[in-house]
Structure 1
Amino acid sequence: MASTLVVVLFALYALLDAIALLPRVAGSLLNKNGLGYTFSVMVHTLKRVFVVSYPPLLGWIALQGESLYPAIFASYFWGALAVVLVSIFKYPIIKCFIHWIEGYAVGGSVFYAVFQHPYTPHESMVGQGKVDFSFSFDKSLIYSSSWVYFIYGSSLFFINLFGAEFQDQSAVIYQLVGIINALGTVLMSFYLDPKISRNFDQKERIMESNDSVVAGQLLALVVWGPASIALFSLIL
């Protein structure tokens, strides 16, 4: 049961993480970058609820003497699937955020924007279908974002694995979570996010930036994360 909850919570975290950039895409298309960023922060805030929810369950699994590896690899699989679904259905999600941002911009509350504002299709979304398999990528952005998301998505797994392996030092090991996440935050704030913001502000390669960041997240979940965990299991 605990393993299943870990997988579900991690998949929801990955889902929201993939969605989090789409409000900024919507805001850029509307020339409302500030509101787009605000709605992105809302998604990130919801994401953090799931980020802090699954580590205690990993600790519980370890205390029961069970292996953490099945839950971790299953989490990567379902998390990657969630990211793929967001990338395929990105335009319906963008349409929702365009609708919500416009609703909030006219002076309503978030509740009004989400539930009561009348829907009017935006010109930028005319002709866009529900499912989209067209992507454009910036290789450097994919690579850099993949390492940022690797730190965010895998650090808690590594900390719990180290804590389970070295239980005498677990009190110290678990305190390293903040340091590792801070490293990811520094990379995000000083390198990745400024590049994304510049593209959005200048309306340059908006969808390419989004596709590249999501591809980086997928690379972290499919390659860097599982490979590093597998290597860890062989070493210890």
Structure 2
Amino acid sequence: MTALDWQAVSLTLKLGLYSTLILLLLATPLAWWLARRHSWLSSVIQAVVALPLVLPPTVLGFYLLMWLGPSGFVGATLESLGLDHLAFSFEGILVASVIYSLPFAVQPLVESFRQLPQGQLEAAATLGAGWWRRFWTLVIPASQGGFLVAATLSFAHTLGEFGVILMLGGSIPGETQVLSILIYDHTEAMNYDAAGNLALGLLVFSFTVLLAVYSLQKRTLGGATYAKG
């Protein structure tokens, strides 16, 4: 592997880690709200969250480019404040990655929260445990399988993102050229050996991570898991 390949590997892992951490922080309260609400508003929010599952990545990438670029509302606002717009930057593809992988974090948590024994939460409330304490001592331990699946799917999905990253970030080494983009660049240059090695490494790594996590979950939790992709 060349220095450019290792640079893309490092950037991909960095993007996956950052995206997963942000997704868990955002998805947890959102999934908790969706799991406990059954209204037209919750249905609308669920549909919005799930859009990346059916929307072509290039369409999402196009709209993000329009919003985050220099001519977009977000990009123009940032520039008016003396900051850089987010198109063709690591920060930009991080935003895109979080939005694109959001359903992979939210939906497993919603399913996990819906299966919680409400009697335990109500009993803890009658004993004087506040909401925050109930959440940390009861909800999170009982939902660890959902968090495990959400984190794994979010991270694995980020590794394979292509269309939305290409549209918003292009292919800038060290900035936006993640593994999926570099594989495309190698293929376009007819450097099939390099593309094949990177593709095989990404395939083996992704499969190994998913197999290890699902095997661990089945052995230790025995609960139902959610996966879509």
Settle same-fold status: TM greater than 0.5: no
Greater relative contact order (Cα < 8 A, sep 6+): 2
TM-score by length of 2: 0.34
TM-score by length of 1: 0.33
